[in-house]
Amino acid sequence: MNWEAWEETSNSVSGSSNIMKKILRYLMIFIVIAVGQLPAVVFAVDETSDIKTRPITSIEVSGLFSMSEPELLYLLNIEKGGVLDRETLSDGVKRAFLTGIFDDIVIENLDAAGTAIAVRAKEKPVISSITIKGNSYFSNSFVRKELSFSSAERLTGLKIREGTAKLIEAMRKGGFLNADALSELKPAGKNEVTVEVIINEGAPELIRQIVIPAHGDVINDFLPFGEGSIFDHVAMEHFKNKVLQYYRKKDFVGTSLSYAWVNGVLTLNLDPGKMLKVVFSGNSALKSDELMKEVPFFEINEINDDLIEETMAGILALYRKNGFILAQATPIISGTPDTSLLQIYISEGDRYKVGEVTIDGASISQDRLKDILVSKAGDDYNPDDLETDRSNLGDFYHALGYLDIEVQEPEVMMQDHKALIKYVLNEKQQVKIENIEIAGTKNVSADEIMKIVAVKSGSPYNDVDISESRRKIIELYNNRGFLEAKVSVKRDIAGAAARILFVVSEGNITFFGKNIILGNDRTRQFVIEREFIHETSMPFDTGKLLQERQRLYRLGLFSDVEVAPSDQSDGKRDVIYKLREADAGAVEFGLGYGEFEKYRAFLDVSYRNIFGMNRQASFRTEISSIEKRFILSYSEPFFFIRDLVLKSSLLYESKKELNIDTHKTSYHLSRETASVGVEKKLSDTVKGSLNYDFSVVKTKDVDPNIILSREDTGSLIISGVRPELIYDTRDNPFDPKKGVLAGLTFKVASAALFSQTDFLKLQVYANKYQSLSKRFVVAVSLRGGAAQGFGDTRELPIVERFFLGGRTTVRGYDQDTLGPKAADSTPIGGNAFIMGNLELRADVGRGFGVVAFSDAGNVWDKIQNIDIAQLKYTTGLGLRYNTPVGPLRVDYGVKLNREKGESFGAVHFSVGHAF
């Protein structure tokens, strides 16, 4: 019965109160049905009969396509030997359902004894393909774009409904008013469906006639359709915007364009509005362009008295900000029926500066107080800042325990175009904290809480610190599993002493429940789980969840990681990990040209999720006119234990060293290297590694002038171990804005490792990155190295010597051309080097960057011959274009201490920053 019906049939009512009670009772029933909300008394009825099985002896699972049986049983919390009750079953089904895979999960009891269980899962089908039929005007790509579902997605009724509706709307807007579409589902293979989108475009709305009462010249310039065209509403909106923009650029305001569409006749009514000219006069300190920024008429496409008044207020505020406190602005509007002229007469008045600022009655030093003021001596005087400063002083004193501080209105005296500002304070007494107590703690000791409390006995009373302390106590409890912990603060302020009592209500402890992992279509579940640092039944800790989120991001497999606890159930909270997998494969390539190397190209193909196990493999080739290099590498991120990475690589390199002047070949070198090693994360910022390298180096066609040792010609086996330590606090390894990267590498090759040469080699480096502002980063690098032969080895083989010059070392010099040279000027490398680099990196927008750099460095034949005075300096500019793997870059460096016969500079192409 509805209200109207009641009104018709109810004739005898004893009183209005009864009427209303009946009405309200009726409404309450409606709410019960609509919302399922019942009065508390109804909730307190007896429970339903409980299900309880005996220990389960057999579990039968069916209907799974994209989840393994153990994974589903884990989520359902069903295991052999376990006992099921109603709550466990209900929680399990709800938990598994959160994965978004299922349409239904039915759990059946297969025998009367309750020992055999069947789990019948029904997964939501996957869309295998989408076929489109019936379209002739609209292309398949248009239809696919409008449908919000695509193949390989899981089918849901909502997606089909919304996608189809969106398509219909788009077709109708496109001029087919009667367009319709239907999405039919057809089974296709195991748990897959084909969606057949059947389109009925219907007849389009055709424009029979276009009527343009006025301004036809402008309209025809932009009109996208003519008589006989389909009336496309989307094109119509674009057309309207273009016309409005056209008039805006011509300084018109009040432009409007409307249309009428009746029986195929399109009537376009354009009112261009009025051309508005805004003229400032009388201004000299502030330019008209600056004042125009305060004029909103063109942006709003309107001019009226209120807007003019707002504009004047904005202009005067701008003047006051610049010290013109007596500035006046008078608007006068005039014009013809087609044009308006707004003349704004400015009387700037004199400019005033802030003179002396004094603060009377302050026991705190004047300098300290003046630091917090906006108006400082010498600044432009703006009276609008006085109230801000008064408030700042009050807040500052309050934070120091002066709870009754009085800051009087400032006295301002104008003298010689200076404002002398005087604040008078009445500090009154400072309240200090006499005593801090903690009450209500059971599971965390008061001593432990006191350590994190920001306020201390004897310190000034400060509400901000007290609130922060309260927040920290709650956070501490939350991280120990007490998610409902509440902390109230009782303050007892008597005279100059305050007693603070934090009263803790711990609530019940919550433990970690199950882990629900969503979105890992390619990545194996255990790869994700091994990044977890919590265990089921540990006290729930949101801090651990944050760390796990970071760990998952660091795998490089996911573009989005969302970690959220689910609702609490039975003292436990499940954790839902919603992941979005990033592209695991990448192909990079680049081309470049250098004066010395001529052409240069590289190709890098990598995949970081082999078998869904985060195993990474890559193949990189670098080719130039003098060098070929092929590297095949593989890494296993979880080598038996957490954070231990196995790395291995195979390298083949063939290099032709040319004389820099004659371009004659000085020697040919080929190297085959196999490396294997482990890398261990020692802390969040430090990692160590130990590698073994085995190389077969062949040097031939060697110019006798550059042979330093017997190892420099023929075939040579180099076998050595290479421990390394890296400290890394960079925010982004590809494009760091802040942080430090420092490291130390030591290599020893010895006959004990079957090496035909013996040497020790040490390299150190430290790079520092610091953001100066949103767009500027300064980067500094210092690198050095030293090597020494031992045993029968006096000189290191040429492949192990240090070389500098080129794209990542000293730009301005060609690749590897710095340092000791043979008689024919061919670089022969050395046993020691020192290098420094400085870069100012500027982001100029749209992915581009400009870098100014300065490099210095040199190579010496022996450690004892290092001479800082022999450092070679270069400077230059570079251009960057950002890509996900670092910037593509081109640098041009200029030699600052060029020697006779040397080139002026060199161009370098590469990917990634120089350091």
Partner 1 sequence: MTAASCYAEVMERVAAYVNDKAITLSEFRENAQRTRKTLADISDSDIINSMINRLLLLQEAKKMRLEAPTKDELVRDYIDIKIKSAIIIKEEDIERFFSENSAKFNGQDYFEVRDEIEKYLFEREANRHLKKHIEELRAESDIKIQLKASE
Candidate list 63, 69, 71, 109; residue touching partner 1; CB under 8 A? 109
Count CA atoms within 13 Å of residue 286 on its CB side.
26
Indicate which single residue of 54, 80, 86, 376 sits in contact with partner 1 (rule: CB under 8 A).
86
Q: How many CB atoms lie within 10 A of CB 404?
A: 12
Q: Collect all residues with Cβ–Cβ distance below 8 Å to 630 and sequence separation of at least 6.
A: 619, 620, 621, 651, 652, 653
Part of the chain binding partner 1 (CB under 8 A), chosen from 26-34, 192-200, 382-390, 520-528: 26-34
Eight-class DSSP state of 899: P
| Residue selected from 55, 57, 65, 110 as contacting partner 1 according to rule CB under 8 A | 110
389 and 375 Cβ atoms separated by less than 8 Å: yes
Chain centre distance of CA 522: 23
The helix or strand, by DSSP H or E, that contains position 374, with its residue range, turns out to be none
* Rounded Cα gap, residues 850 and 890, in angstroms: 10
Q: Determine if 245 is a binding residue for partner 1 (CB under 8 A).
A: no
Question: 219 — phi, psi (to 5°)?
Answer: -60, -45
By CB under 8 A, residue 29 contacts partner 1? yes
The residue with tokens 């800082």 is 868
Contact partners, residue 29, CB within 8 Å, separation at least 6: none
**Phi, psi for residue 462 in degrees, rounded to 5:** -145, 115
- Residue 893 and residue 909 in contact, taking contact as beta carbons nearer than 8 Å: no
Of the ranges 45-53, 607-615, 837-845, 848-856, which one interacts with partner 1 (CB under 8 A)?
45-53
Size of the site for partner 1 (CB under 8 A): 61
C-beta of residue 356 within 8 angstroms of C-beta of residue 375: no
Residue 116 is a binding residue for partner 1 (CB under 8 A): yes
Q: At which residue do the structure tokens 């970081």 appear?
A: 608
By CB under 8 A, is residue 80 in contact with partner 1?
A: no
From 72, 73, 75, 93, residue interacting with partner 1 (rule: CB under 8 A): 93
* Interface with partner 1 (CB under 8 A), residue from 55, 66, 106, 293: 106
Applying CB under 8 A, which of residues 72, 75, 102, 574 lies at the interface with partner 1?
102
**Which residue number, 121 or 787, has a Cβ lying nearer to partner 1?**
121
Which one, 36 or 81, has the nearer CB to partner 1? 36
Asked whether position 31 contacts partner 1 by CB under 8 A, the answer is yes
Q: Considering the complex, what minimum distance in angstroms separates the CB of residue 108 from partner 1?
A: 5
The mark string for 47-66 relative to partner 1 (x by CB under 8 A, - otherwise) is: xx--x-x-------------
Q: Taking a C-beta distance cutoff of 8 angstroms, is the pair 833, 761 a contact? A: no
Is 517 an interacting residue with respect to partner 1 (CB under 8 A)? no
Residue 799 has which token pair?
Answer: 């492949």
Near partner 1 by CB under 8 A: residue from 9, 16, 334, 773: 16
The answer to whether 477 contacts partner 1 (rule: CB under 8 A) is no
* Residue 614 near residue 626 (C-beta atoms within 8 A): no
Per CB under 8 A, 83 contacts partner 1: no
Residues of this chain, 137-156, that bind partner 1 according to CB under 8 A: 156
Q: Which is nearer to partner 1, 116 or 317 (CB)?
A: 116
Shorter beta-carbon distance to partner 1: residue 563 or 626: 563
Contact present, 425 and 393 (Cβ < 8 Å)? yes
Query: What phi and psi, each to the nearest 5 degrees, are found at residue 619?
Result: -130, 125
Q: What is the CA radius of gyration of the chain?
A: 39
Residue 589 near partner 1 by CB under 8 A: no
Restricting to residues 679-718, name those near partner 1 by CB under 8 A: none
Contact flag: residue 573 with partner 1 (CB under 8 A): no
CB of 93 to partner 1, least distance (A): 5
> What does the buried/exposed string (b/e) look like for 362-377 if buried means 16 or more CB atoms within 10 Å of the residue's CB?
beeeeeebbeebebee
Between CA 79 and CA 81 the distance in angstroms is 6
- The DSSP secondary structure of 506-540, one letter per residue, reads -----EEEEEEEES-SSS-HHHHHTT----TTSBP
Q: Least distance to partner 1 from the beta carbon of 537, Å?
A: 24
Stretch 156-195: interaction string toward partner 1, x if CB under 8 A: xxxx--x---------------------------------
Q: Which is nearer to partner 1, 14 or 363 (CB)?
A: 14
- Sequence-distant (6+) residues with CB within 8 A of 312 are 329, 331, 344
Residue 105 Cβ vs partner 1, minimum distance, rounded to whole Å: 6
Stretch near partner 1 under the rule CB under 8 A, chosen from 11-19, 407-415, 609-617, 809-817: 11-19
Question: Which DSSP letter does residue 731 get?
Answer: S
Nearest CB to partner 1, comparing residues 102 and 396: 102
Residue with smaller CB distance to partner 1, 124 or 647: 124
Whole-number Å distance between alpha carbons of 158 and 100 = 13
Give yes or no for residue 13 binding partner 1 (CB under 8 A): yes
Taking CB under 8 A as the binding criterion, the range among 86-94, 409-417, 655-663, 867-875 that sits at the site for partner 1 is 86-94
- Pick between residue 76 and residue 303 the one whose CB is nearest to partner 1: 76
362-to-101, 397, 816, 865 alpha-carbon distances in Å: 68, 10, 67, 65
For residue 199, which of 219, 225, 176, 181 has the smallest C-alpha distance? 181
State which residue, 117 or 749, has the beta carbon closest to partner 1: 117
Inter-residue contact 798 to 702 (CB < 8 Å):
no
Residue 2: Cβ within 10 Å count: 7
In the complex, the smallest distance separating the C-beta of residue 36 from partner 1, rounded to whole angstroms, is 3
Nearer to partner 1, 116 or 863 (CB): 116
State the DSSP H helix or E strand holding residue 224, giving kind and residue range, or none if neither: none
Handedness of CA 708, 713, 716, 718 (dihedral sign): positive
Among 59, 64, 105, 716, binds partner 1 (CB under 8 A): 105
Contacting residues for 216 by C-beta, under 8 A, at least 6 apart = none
User: Letter for the amino acid at 317?
Assistant: A
Q: Which is nearer to partner 1, 113 or 265 (CB)?
A: 113
| Closest CB to partner 1 among residues 360, 484 | 484
The answer to whether residue 1 forms part of the interface with partner 1 (CB under 8 A) is no
- Tokens 């049939």 belong to residue: 9
CB of 116 to partner 1, least distance (A): 8
Q: Nearest approach, Cβ of 32 to partner 1 (angstroms)?
A: 7
Q: Is 568 in the site for partner 1 (CB under 8 A)?
A: no
> Closer to partner 1 at the Cβ: 163 or 820?
163
Q: Which stretch binds partner 1 (CB under 8 A): 20-28, 474-482, 529-537, 626-634?
A: 20-28
Residue 9 near partner 1 by CB under 8 A:
no
Task: Give whichever of 76 and 210 is closer to partner 1, judged by the CB atom.
Answer: 76
C-alpha to C-alpha distances, 101 to 95, 97, 122, 158, nearest whole angstrom? 11, 7, 9, 15
Binding status of residue 508 toward partner 1 by CB under 8 A: no
Write down the least CB distance from residue 153 to partner 1, Å. 13
Query: How far, in Å, CA of 720 to CA of 791, rounded?
Result: 15
| Of residues 200-229, those binding partner 1 (CB under 8 A) | none
d(Cα 96, Cα 545) in Å, to the nearest integer?
Answer: 20
* Among 71, 94, 196, 343, contact with partner 1 (rule: CB under 8 A): 94
Nearer to partner 1, 112 or 823 (CB): 112
Select the span of 25-33, 740-748, 781-789, 891-899 touching partner 1 (CB under 8 A): 25-33
Beta strand 759-771 pairing with 739-749:
antiparallel
Residues binding partner 1 (CB under 8 A): 3, 7, 10, 13-17, 19-20, 23-24, 27, 29-38, 40, 42-43, 45, 47-48, 51, 53, 84, 86, 89-90, 92-94, 97-100, 102-112, 116-118, 156-159, 162
